[in-house]
């Protein structure tokens, strides 16, 4: 491991890798969330209905569900340097397609395809975990996630202004296209500037291909069960698209049958990858508890899922509630995402100092109360008070995200990408569920639903075990190496 001092002003060794990686994540979030602050202009250009607008918001997060699973496993196999660079490069093209769309169908398809850029987060989780020791990992992952997530706030602040600078009804197209150019250029910069591990370190890869590895038969059953919500979320998306006329009832049913078949095949792949080792018996030192992953999945459903949903709808919510212009509404709503700069690193730092489980319990309770407060926001409120409530709520949301990913890399190093992928996918499942709730229920009920799931997350947390001891990993030469986690 390189230098041990944690110096944010440094741009060498592990700090250089951290800075380059959060910038990559930042760019993915600017690009992923270039829709919400420009929705009013896009809606005016295409004369979109409220249902079509809400459909675009759901489509924006849908593909990230399977993408995070797949990209997480690819990261474990190929290394984060190649995968992050490739993802940024590929994301530029659906971004350009969205900017050049001339029909709602083209908007919807390109937006759906662009959703895979949301998988970028899980790549950096593995990269950062390779460069930082366990006692700095929560802080480092929090900085990576928080400063990267801040890209959504920057998008809200800057893109409406950029659109105005270009003027006319096509100003939003230039703003969107610029984010695609950022992806394209930075894909080459990142590939040329980082390496997967510090010099002299070993990059551990999973032995199996095509599925997450578990270490007991009970965990295999739990893994298969935990896959179900991922497919249900995609089924809900198909149902929502049928409601707005984008899919026929026959197509919806065909998609449901296809998703059921994919779930069976996915479950069989998990069985095939794991069963031989499980029958032979996994040595105690190499085992990990999958229930840790399951608990983190539920927590990220409530934290990141709610952030994705709220960031997507908040500019329009403030505009409609308080009669604000698109630029002002975007800037006001950015207060929610602005907290990422400090709250997510803060959650990771507190976890490093005071323990992962106690931190998560406190933050999840705050999350529930925060969204309860958001459910009470109305037109009779002064705007400044609504912003204060949104920012206070966002602190618990984003600090909770930082605390979740202070635990993820401490479960099983060779599986970090796959675990981060599944946990991250649950965040997108939450976003799909919440955005559909937003489309169906009044806004106050939407916030109450999020608060209710936070309470469920608090109960699940009671089953989390504080990471202690060491992770055993097998190198390519067959030797067992131990990685300290607590």
Report whether pLDDT(2) > 70.
Answer: no
pLDDT tens, residue by residue, 38-49 = 988 999 999 988
Residue, of 453 and 470, whose pLDDT is higher: 453
Report whether pLDDT(74) > 50.
Answer: yes
Contact by Cβ (8 Å): 240, 436? yes
Task: Tell me what the mean pLDDT of segment 457-471 comes to.
Answer: 85
Tokens of 278: 């499980």
Residue, of 163 and 486, whose pLDDT is higher: 163
Contact by Cβ (8 Å): 129, 413? yes
Q: CA-CA distance, 220 to 216, in Å (whole number)?
A: 6
Tokens of 169: 């009804």
pTM of the model: 0.84
pLDDT of residue 52: 85
261 to 14, 169, 254, 266, 268: CA distances (angstroms): 43, 44, 11, 9, 11
Q: CA-CA distance, 277 to 370, in Å (whole number)?
A: 45
pLDDT band at 447 (very low <50, low <70, confident <90, very high): very high
Report whether pLDDT(4) > 70.
Answer: no
pLDDT of residue 486: 61
pLDDT band at 301 (very low <50, low <70, confident <90, very high): very high
Tokens of 117: 């850029």
DSSP state string for 392-426: HHHHHHHHHHHHHHHHGGGT-GGGHHHHHHHHHHH
Q: Is domain 13-196+208-484 given the CATH code 1.20.1250.20 in the classification? A: yes
Residue, of 294 and 241, whose pLDDT is higher: 294
Task: Tell me what the mean pLDDT of segment 208-228 comes to.
Answer: 89
Tell me the three-class secondary structure of 346-377, residue by residue. HHHHHHHHHCHHHHHHHHHHHHHHHHHHHCCC
Q: CA-CA distance, 305 to 284, in Å (whole number)?
A: 34
Candidates 22, 56, 65; CA nearest to 36 is 56
DSSP run (H or E) holding 86: helix 80-99
Report whether pLDDT(471) > 70.
Answer: no
What are the backbone angles phi and psi of residue 483, rounded to the nearest 5°? -115, 120
Q: CA-CA distance, 392 to 343, in Å (whole number)?
A: 10
Task: Tell me what the mean pLDDT of segment 112-118 comes to.
Answer: 92
Non-local CB neighbours of 380 within 8 Å, separated by 6+ positions: none
List the Cα angle 78/82/84 in 5-degree steps. Answer: 110
Task: Tell me what the mean pLDDT of segment 375-384 comes to.
Answer: 86
Q: CA-CA distance, 306 to 300, in Å (whole number)?
A: 9
Q: CA-CA distance, 129 to 142, in Å (whole number)?
A: 11
């Amino acid at each position: 491991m390189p230098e041990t001092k944690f110096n944010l002003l440094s741009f060498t060794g592990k700090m250089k890798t951290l800075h380059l990686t959060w910038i990559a994540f930042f760019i993915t979030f600017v690009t992923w969330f270039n829709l919400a602050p420009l929705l009013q202009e896009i809606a005016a250009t295409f004369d979109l209905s409220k249902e079509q607008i809400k459909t675009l918001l759901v489509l924006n997060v849908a593909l990230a569900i399977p993408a995070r699973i797949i990209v997480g496993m690819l990261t474990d196999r190929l290394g984060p340097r190649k995968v992050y660079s490739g993802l940024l490069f590929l994301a530029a093209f659906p971004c350009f397609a969205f900017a050049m769309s001339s029909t709602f169908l083209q908007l919807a398809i390109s937006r759906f395809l662009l959703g895979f850029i949301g998988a970028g987060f899980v790549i950096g989780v593995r990269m950062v975990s390779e460069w930082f020791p366990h006692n700095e990992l929560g802080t480092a992952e929090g900085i990576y996630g928080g400063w990267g997530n801040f890209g959504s706030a920057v998008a809200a602040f800057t893109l409406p202004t950029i659109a105005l600078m270009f003027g006319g009804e096509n100003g939003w197209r230039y703003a969107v296209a610029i984010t695609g150019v950022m992806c394209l250029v930075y894909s080459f910069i990142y590939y040329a500037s980082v390496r997967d591990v510090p010099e002299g370190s070993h990059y551990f890869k999973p032995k199996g291909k095509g599925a997450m590895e578990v270490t007991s038969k009970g965990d295999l059953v739990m893994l298969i069960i935990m896959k179900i919500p991922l497919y249900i979320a995609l089924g809900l998306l198909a149902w929502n698209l049928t409601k707005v006329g984008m899919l026929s009832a026959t197509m919806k049913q065909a998609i449901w049958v296809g998703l059921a078949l994919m779930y069976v095949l996915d479950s069989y792949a998990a069985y095939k990858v794991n069963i031989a080792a499980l029958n032979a018996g996994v040595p105690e030192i190499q085992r990990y508890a999958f229930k840790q992953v399951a608990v983190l999945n539920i927590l990220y459903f409530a934290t990141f899922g709610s952030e994705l949903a709220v960031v997507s709808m908040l500019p329009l919510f403030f505009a409609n509630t308080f009669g604000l212009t698109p630029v002002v509404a975007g800037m006001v709503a950015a207060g929610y995402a602005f907290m990422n700069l400090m709250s997510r690193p803060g959650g990771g730092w507190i976890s490093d100092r005071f323990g992962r489980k106690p931190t998560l319990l406190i933050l999840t309770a705050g999350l529930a109360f925060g969204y309860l407060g958001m459910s009470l926001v109305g037109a009779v409120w002064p705007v400044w008070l609504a912003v204060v409530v949104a920012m206070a709520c966002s602190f618990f949301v984003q600090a909770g995200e930082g605390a979740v990913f202070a635990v993820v890399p401490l479960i099983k190093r060779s599986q970090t990408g796959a675990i981060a992928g599944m946990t991250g996918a649950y965040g997108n499942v939450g976003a799909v569920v919440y955005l559909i709730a937003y489309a169906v229920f009044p806004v106050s009920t939407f916030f109450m639903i999020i608060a209710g799931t936070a309470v469920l997350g608090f109960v699940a947390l009671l089953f989390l075990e504080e990471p202690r001891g060491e992770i055993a990993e097998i190198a390519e030469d067959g030797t067992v190496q131990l990685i300290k986690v607590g």
